[in-house]
Structure formats: C-alpha cells, structure tokens
Amino acid sequence: MSTALSPAALAARRFLGNRLALAGAVFLTAAGVLALAAPLVAGHDPNAVDLAAFREPPSAAHLLGTDSTGRDVFARLLHAGRISLLVGLLSSLAALAVGTLLGALAGVFGGAVDAVVMRAADVVLSFPSLVVIVVLAGVLGPSTAMLVLVFAAGNWPTACRVVRGLTLSLREQEYVQAARAFGAGRAALIGRHVLPAVLSQVAVVGTLLVAQMILLEAVLSFLGLGVQPPRASWGTMLTDAQNLTLLQTMPWLWLPPGLAIALTVLAVNFVGDGLRDAVDPKGTRR
Amino acid sequence: MNRLSGALAVVLLGLAIGCSDPTNTPARVSPHDAINVYLYQKPKRFSPLDPPSGPDQQVMTLIFDNLLAVDDSYTFVPRLAERWEVAEDRITFHLRQGLKWSDGTPFTSRDVLFTYKLLADAESGSALAGRLAGAAFEAPDDTTFVIRPARPNVGFLSLVARPYAFILPEHVLGREPVDRIASSAFFNHPTVGLGPYTFVSYRTDQYVELAANPHYRKPVSIARIFLKPISSDVATAQLGTGEMDLAQISPTDLRTVAAFKGVTVAARPSPGFIRMAADLSDKRFADPRIRRAMLHAIDRKALVAQLLAGRGRVQNSSFVTPWALPGTLEEYAYDPARARSLLAEAGWNPAEKVTLSWIPGQRDRDAAATVVQSALGAAGMTVELKQVQAAELLESYEKRTFDLALYGGGSYAADPSSSATTINCAAFYPTGSNVSNYCDPSLDTLTAQADALTDREQRAKLYQEAARRDNAQVPYLWLYNPDTLWATSSRLRGFKPSGDFTTGFWNADEWTVAG
C-alpha cells in the first residue's frame, strides 16, 4: 500500500469486499427502487377489487395471481413494500435521533442528567417491548403514524446506550479535553466532536434497528394492530392468507410477502454486519 | 412445491393456533368426555335482557331453557312447556312437571312469571320490553303459565321462542331491584340454569367452559363443552387436527374440510341474512334513492358466486318467510352507472366519508367488507373500514354513532312477524332489533293488521304488501343469505344441523361422544 487512504475510503473498501453485505445492499436498493416506483411498475391498482378474478393463480395478466377479493398480489406486494420500508426507515431514524441526542447529553453532562436518561432507558428496556407496543397500539388506535411513533418510543435506548458509552470515552480524549480547555460549550462539544465521532457506530445500530422495525411492523399488522385494510403491508398480506385452503393450495398468496419479509430483514442484517466490520478500524476482515 | 407448501402450512398454522389453546386436554376431564365447539364471535355476557347478540345467545341455549324452541325445520318444539294452546286472546303453556334448576331447586311457573314480567318491564333494561309491551302474564298454578298479548298476534310465539326469553331463576334473582338487575353479576357468571349444561367459567378471549347439568330432565352424555371464540380460519384448521369437534366453516374451505378424515359437512339454508344497516336517523341516508344506489353499486351476485362459492342467495327483502314474499321484487341488479346517477340525483356529497364497521373473523364477511368499500367507492361514496369488537358495535347502535354496520344472522323463517321487529318504528335498538332506525308508520299498520288475523291467506296478502314497501324503501342494505355450513368431527354424534346457527345447538342434550 503505497498511497495512504482516508479512513472512509478504507471502510468503503472493506465493505465492498464483503460479498454478503454487498448482495444485501444490492437487494435493498432494488427493493427500494421497486417500492418507490410501485405505481409505475405494478400495472394494477393494489386496492382494485375484481370479483371476476377471484383467487387466480399467477398469469401474464397477474404476475403473482390475485387474492380473495380479486386484487393483484404483485401490485399489493410492491405497495406493501412501500409501507414496510417506510415504517422501518422512519421509525429507526426517529429512534436513532432521540437515542443519539439523549445519549450524547447523558455522556457530556454526566451527573444527574446521565442518571435520569439512563434510568429512563432502563425502564423502557426492562419492559417486554412487544407487549408494550401492542398495548400502546391498542390505546392509540391503528395507523401508520402510530406505528412509527410507538416503535421509536420503544427502541431509542439501544442507540442511547451506545452513544453514551462512546461519549464517555471521548470525553477523556485529549482533543476533546483541549476543546474544553479552550472554552468550548457543551453544545459545541456535542455538535463538533461527539456526533461526528459516533456517527459510524450509530449507523450500524440503525441498520440493525431497521430490520427489527420491519419485522415488528409485520407482526403488528399480522395481529390486526398495524396497517389497516384495505391498505396492504406484508404483515396484513400474511394475515389475509392465514387459511388452510389458501396455505395448502394457493402459495402465491403467502409466499411472496413471506419471502419479502425474510429477504429484506436478512439483507438489512447483512448490510448492518458489513458496516460494523467496515467501520471497525481494528477489524481483521476485509 | 406442494409438499413444501404443505409443510410450511403446518408450521404457519402451528404458530397461529399453538398459542390459543390451553384446553385441549384439561387435567380433570378425560378428553373423551369433552368436546370443543366453535363460537363465531366473542360472547359479552349471558343475559336474556340484553339486545340479542348471536354468540351470547348460542351459549345461553346450552345453559338456559325456554318455554319452546325451534328445531332444524323451523317448527316449534316443546322445551319447558310440554304443550301449549293458542287462542284468540291468550296463549296457555302447560309446563313439564318435576323439573329442577341446576342447583336442585324445583322449577315452577313462578320462575316463568318472574322472567316474563322482567322481560316486559322497560325499567329492567330488557330489550324485549317493546315486543312484550302491554301483555299480561298469569301463573294460575305451578305448571300453567298464560300470556295475554296486548293485541291479537299469531306470530307471538316466534317472538318468545328460543333464542329469546330464556327463563331465569327467581330464587337467585328475585331479590334484586328491577332497575339494577341488568347489571347483576349473575349474568357474567350464570351458574344456575335449566339447560342441559351448566356454566363453569368464561376465560375472555379463550373459551367458555360448560359442564353437564346433573339436574337436567334427562341424562346428558357429554361431561364438558368448551366453546371457543376463534376465527373461522383457525377453527377450520383445528377441525383438521382434531382439536375442534363442531364448527361453522366458510364455503371456500369446503373442499379442504371434505378432505379431513372423519369430518362431515352439512349445508342448510339460513333463516337470516348478511346485511348492512345504515343509520337512517342520519340525514345523509334518509333519501331511499341513496340506499337503492348503494344496492345497485354492489355486485351481490358475484359476492354469492365467489365469496360463498355459490352457497347462498342474493337477498332483496327484510322478510325471509317464503309465503310473506310476493312473486316479484325489485332485484337492484349490479349497475354502477345507475348507482352513480341515483347518488347524484339524491344530491350525495362525494366529499362525505362513511365508516363501515364490522366484527372481523369470518372470511366471507371480512372479504365482503372489502368488496363493499371498493364498490361504493367506485360509485362515488368514500367508505372507510373499521374493525370493531361486539361491545363497541352494539354501543354504536345504541348511541347512533355508526354510519354503516355490516352484520348477519336473524331467525326470520318461521314467521314474518320476526322480521317486522327489525323495521318497526317501536323497535328501535335497543328496545328491538331495528338497528337502522327505519320508521314507516304505514308499514307498521300493515304488519299489525296481518298479525291480528289467523287466516294464513289473508295474512300473506298483507305481509306481501308490506314486503313490497320494504323492498322499495330499502330499510337495510341486504347483501346475501348464506347457507349455514356445519362441520362435525367423527367423535361428535347426534348433532342435527340447523340453518339457524344461533339456535344451532338446539338438540345439544342428545349429543354424544364416540370412543
């Protein structure tokens, strides 16, 4: 290695060298593009009922067949992807934003602030999150915005703890102490030194959160507490197919959403793993 | 592919049903003596005073008893009354002798008198008070009970036969003040009854447990019954695994269920129908053209052909009794263009949003709700779907806070006067079953005149006139009359399928378990 590479370029190289992570990233990009372009690609309205096309197997007209009210499964799959990915991304972003901010505050201020924030995080973590989420969903009433809110409320502590830990060690670093000695305020400390330094770790936490959130959305929608009919999400598509006749004879109704959930979650996890290895300067994997 | 999907199906269903069921092998009862029965919705509680609610009534037919019931051919059969005489101004019931309540207390006509007085008293919160208003009751001796209806009414028996007017124990409830009796704890835990089974417990969201009544008038063979409110899909899967002994199934699952070993399926025409009630006290729905438009917008023939796999008929009347229906009725055939023009004529505002509420869990109804939403949307009426629990739905009837409610059931085959209680001005919910708050005094006059006559021909003429008005006014958005499909496991013997699922357990005292 004759030319010195920046840490970012090194990380990118390590990431691209990880085949699973790369495959995951490619899959997610494809899924994202398909979901975004759903109205153009699907060819059918996902909610258009057509009783003349009742539970039809896949054909040229309906690539993945039709469901129990004659709706096009392919169109529903793509539109469901929009909701699943959107909920996954938004709720993880919200959880990260809250968690990072609180974690940084706790780390920089220490003392009472630290105690309050971390005890709050412990409280949230000590509840079985799915149960709390189901209760909250029942109280607030089912809607997509509710899902994002509730998921974020239940998952900020992960990022918070990571960021607090990093901040505590950063605080003792010489360059941070130097900044403090020169009179830098705490806000500047967080904005200038803490946030840039923890960003890569937060990104790793974030990707793994996205996978969890997509699964959670599917679970809640499957239980009837998430996305409401007739809107499609992968979870509601599975609920609709939860019938012995459909399970035994009409796999086009449950295989596509099931595979979509499984593959997306796998892909996100691969990317997350890849990112973690890539940003770890002591990493041995290339 | 098939093997793979089969294996996955087992895994998925295992997930779906595995957690729902702690009752399969209760420690104290050998599984041979217990059966599992499907309830199509969750019961609330078990009070004959409450407005009729299918699952509550289904449980009550097992733990309580009535003067008379209807059998699988919709004819009246004796229950507590051994026989009865219908005269112009009175109905005399001769009660069976030597009957005992499940706690051993003797049963007499005083219990019947107590119950009917309670049911007729609006103070008690009775939903039957409207039907029984003005009637006089007497118990001349221990085994005779006399009803004198306020006005001559040939159809009266159908108003008090099962699943209505279950007889309550005076020795348990007699001391409760009338105005507070409706909230008595007894109705959540009704352990004293006259039915073949006694109430043991109700585990919300799990099961209602019943045990054989040792004081029933003949020996009851099955020791325990577990009634389980689960979705029709899960019930169907449990039929296949042997965890369910009696269930109603969806017509689209017929072929799957027929392939189960030992499971038999019986189809019977239903005496009720699936409909939507619009709240007609809401001005938006007051114009009959709006309701006609809604019927024209929905392809009900396709609903029957696809969702019911042809096992049913399109309904175009609030009446079901064959002789009460005129030869021809407006069929409101599927015609989206006509629907749009009728809506426009009646000045429907397309910006209005309408909520359609229903209790989810049955495959045909769930799909119907989706189809209706889409069909009305295409005609220019924006509909939002809302899944609700029974208690929430019934409360919205009472407070008139619903827009559209999709529900089914009813027992209208025996006599048309049972249909009249869904459209009479005096029968607004909760006093009666008029959920849509429809009121047309001239229709009430027709049905009252008809019920005052004993001659079938003359009654039929008046009822057919009423049915024509009803058909033109569209007090309900009739959807379809589905066949009732019962599936029984090979263990359960003696079940006689009835088209009326509410009274479907009518001969439960004759059931036995094989092996």
When divided into structural domains, chain A yields a total of 1
Contact flag B370-A248 (C-beta cutoff 8 Å): no
Nearest chain A residue to B383, by CA: A230
Q: Are B216 and B79 in contact (CB under 8 A)?
A: no
What gap in Å lies between CA B324 and CA B468, rounded to an integer? 10
The arithmetic mean of pLDDT across residues A253-262, rounded, is 94
In DSSP terms, A1 is beta-bridged to none
Mutation target among A242, A243, A249 for the B interface, most CBs of B within 10 A: A243
Instruction: Report if residue A286 sits inside a domain.
Output: no
A 38-57 residues inside an 8 A Cβ radius of B: 47-49, 51-52, 54
Instruction: Report if residue A72 sits inside a domain.
Output: no
Instruction: Report if residue A115 sits inside a domain.
Output: yes
Share of chain A above pLDDT 90, in %: 41
Mutation target among A45, A47, A143, A247 for the B interface, most CBs of B within 10 A: A247
Nearest chain B residue to A250, by CA: B5
Looking at the predicted structure, is the pLDDT value of residue B9 above 50? no
Q: Binning pLDDT at 50, 70 and 90, where does residue B5 land?
A: very low
Q: What is the mean pLDDT of chain A?
A: 88
pLDDT recorded at residue A283: 54
Q: What is the mean pLDDT of chain B?
A: 89
In DSSP terms, B406 is beta-bridged to B276, B358
Looking at the predicted structure, is the pLDDT value of residue B4 above 60? no
Residue A40 parent element (H or E): helix A38-42
pLDDT recorded at residue B81: 95
Residue A242 contacts B where some CB pair is shorter than 8 Å: yes
Residue A254 contacts B where some CB pair is shorter than 8 Å: yes
What gap in Å lies between CA B415 and CA B122, rounded to an integer? 25
What gap in Å lies between CA B261 and CA B252, rounded to an integer? 18
Contact flag B12-A247 (C-beta cutoff 8 Å): yes
Q: Binning pLDDT at 50, 70 and 90, where does residue B11 land?
A: very low
Task: Provide the token pair at B154.
Answer: 């040939």
Contact flag A68-B237 (C-beta cutoff 8 Å): no
pLDDT recorded at residue B452: 86
Contacts of residue B511, defined as CB under 8 A and 6 or more positions apart, other chains included, come to B35, B221, B222, B492, B493, B494, B495
The arithmetic mean of pLDDT across residues A242-263, rounded, is 92
Share of chain B above pLDDT 70, in %: 94
A 156-185 residues inside an 8 A Cβ radius of B: none
The arithmetic mean of pLDDT across residues B445-464, rounded, is 91
Tell me the nearest-neighbour CA distance from A245 into chain B, angstroms: 6
The arithmetic mean of pLDDT across residues B427-447, rounded, is 90
Residue A262 contacts B where some CB pair is shorter than 8 Å: no
CA distances from B275 to A123, B248, B357, B417 (A): 48, 19, 12, 19
Strands B91-95 and B76-78: unpaired
What gap in Å lies between CA B26 and CA B17, rounded to an integer? 17
pLDDT tens sequence across A148-159: 988 998 899 999
Region for residue A200 given its phi and psi (left: phi exceeds 0; alpha: psi -120 to 50; beta: otherwise): alpha
Where b means 16+ CB within 10 Å and e means fewer, A1-25 reads: eeeeeeeeebbeebbeebeebeebb
Q: Are A103 and A161 in contact (CB under 8 A)?
A: yes
Strands B207-212 and B224-229: antiparallel
The arithmetic mean of pLDDT across residues A228-242, rounded, is 87
Contact flag A247-B9 (C-beta cutoff 8 Å): yes
Instruction: Report if residue A53 sits inside a domain.
Output: no
CATH number, position A153: 1.10.3720.10
Contact flag B256-A254 (C-beta cutoff 8 Å): no
pLDDT recorded at residue A282: 64
Tell me the nearest-neighbour CA distance from B306 into chain A, angstroms: 7
Contact flag B387-A242 (C-beta cutoff 8 Å): no
What is the SS3 string spanning B216-228?
A: CCCCCCCCEEEEE
Tell me the nearest-neighbour CA distance from B226 into chain A, angstroms: 22
Q: Are B33 and B224 in contact (CB under 8 A)?
A: yes
Contact flag B16-A242 (C-beta cutoff 8 Å): yes
pLDDT recorded at residue A278: 84
Burial class (CB in 10 A: 0-12, 13-18, 19+), A249: middle
Tell me the nearest-neighbour CA distance from B385 into chain A, angstroms: 7
Contact flag A230-B374 (C-beta cutoff 8 Å): yes
Q: Binning pLDDT at 50, 70 and 90, where does residue A201 land?
A: confident
Instruction: Report if residue A16 sits inside a domain.
Output: no
pLDDT recorded at residue B120: 92
pLDDT recorded at residue B1: 38
Instruction: Report if residue A47 sits inside a domain.
Output: no
Hey, what domains does chain B have and what are their CATH numbers? 3-10+271-482 (3.10.105.10)
pLDDT recorded at residue B423: 93
Lowest mean pLDDT among A209-218, B295-304, B325-334: A209-218
pLDDT tens sequence across B365-381: 999 999 999 999 999 99
Contact flag A52-B1 (C-beta cutoff 8 Å): no
Looking at the predicted structure, is the pLDDT value of residue B425 above 50? yes
pLDDT tens sequence across A2-29: 467 787 788 888 888 889 999 999 999 9
Q: Binning pLDDT at 50, 70 and 90, where does residue B285 land?
A: very high
Q: Which among A133, A160, A161 has a CA at the least distance from the CA of A226? A: A133
**Is the CA virtual torsion B373, B375, B376, B379 positive or negative?**
positive
Looking at the predicted structure, is the pLDDT value of residue B8 above 50? no
Tell me the nearest-neighbour CA distance from B256 into chain A, angstroms: 6
Instruction: Report if residue A225 sits inside a domain.
Output: yes
Residue A69 contacts B where some CB pair is shorter than 8 Å: yes
Strands B353-358 and B382-387: parallel
Tell me the nearest-neighbour CA distance from B397 into chain A, angstroms: 21
What gap in Å lies between CA B148 and CA B164, rounded to an integer? 18
Task: Provide the token pair at B165.
Answer: 């007017």
Mutation target among B4, B11, B12 for the A interface, most CBs of A within 10 A: B12
pLDDT tens sequence across B144-197: 999 998 887 878 888 888 889 999 999 999 999 999 999 999 999 999 999 999
pLDDT recorded at residue B10: 43
Tell me the nearest-neighbour CA distance from B386 into chain A, angstroms: 8
pLDDT recorded at residue A2: 47
Across the beta sheet with B197-203, the strand order is B197-203, B207-212, B224-229, B34-39, B246-248, B484-488, B264-268
Tell me the nearest-neighbour CA distance from A248 into chain B, angstroms: 5
Q: What range defines the domain where residue A155 resides?
A: 83-279
Task: Provide the token pair at B493.
Answer: 């013997």
Contact flag B256-A244 (C-beta cutoff 8 Å): yes
Contact flag B1-A251 (C-beta cutoff 8 Å): yes
What gap in Å lies between CA A246 and CA A262, rounded to an integer? 20
Instruction: Report if residue A187 sits inside a domain.
Output: yes
Contacts of residue B106, defined as CB under 8 A and 6 or more positions apart, other chains included, come to B98, B99, B100
Looking at the predicted structure, is the pLDDT value of residue B497 above 70? yes
Partner-chain residue, chosen from A228, A230, A244, that has the shortest CB–CB distance to B240: A244
Contact flag A248-B6 (C-beta cutoff 8 Å): yes
Lowest mean pLDDT among A220-229, B5-14, B104-113, B155-164: B5-14
Contact pairs from chain A to chain B, CB under 8 Å: 72
Contact flag B367-A68 (C-beta cutoff 8 Å): yes
pLDDT recorded at residue B30: 56
Looking at the predicted structure, is the pLDDT value of residue B24 above 60? no
Q: Which one-letter DSSP state was computed for residue A86?
A: H
Q: Are A243 and A60 in contact (CB under 8 A)?
A: no
The arithmetic mean of pLDDT across residues A218-226, rounded, is 84
Contacts of residue B473, defined as CB under 8 A and 6 or more positions apart, other chains included, come to B288, B291, B438, B440, B443
pLDDT tens sequence across B299-320: 999 999 999 999 999 999 999 9
The angle that helices A111-126 and A144-171 make with each other, rounded to 10 degrees, is 140
CA distances from A76 to A46, A65, A81, A179, A217 (A): 5, 11, 8, 54, 16
Q: Are A230 and B373 in contact (CB under 8 A)?
A: yes
Residue A243 contacts B where some CB pair is shorter than 8 Å: yes
Place of tokens 């909250």: A136
Nearest chain A residue to B3, by CA: A248
Contacts of residue B212, defined as CB under 8 A and 6 or more positions apart, other chains included, come to B196, B197, B198, B220, B221, B222, B223, B224
Contact flag A68-B305 (C-beta cutoff 8 Å): no
In DSSP terms, B386 is beta-bridged to B357
The arithmetic mean of pLDDT across residues A69-92, rounded, is 92
Tell me the nearest-neighbour CA distance from B7 into chain A, angstroms: 9
Residue A228 contacts B where some CB pair is shorter than 8 Å: yes
pLDDT tens sequence across A107-146: 988 899 999 999 999 999 898 878 888 888 888 877 888 8
Contact flag B370-A245 (C-beta cutoff 8 Å): no
Lowest mean pLDDT among A272-281, B137-146, B285-294, B321-330: A272-281
pLDDT recorded at residue A281: 64
Region for residue A82 given its phi and psi (left: phi exceeds 0; alpha: psi -120 to 50; beta: otherwise): alpha
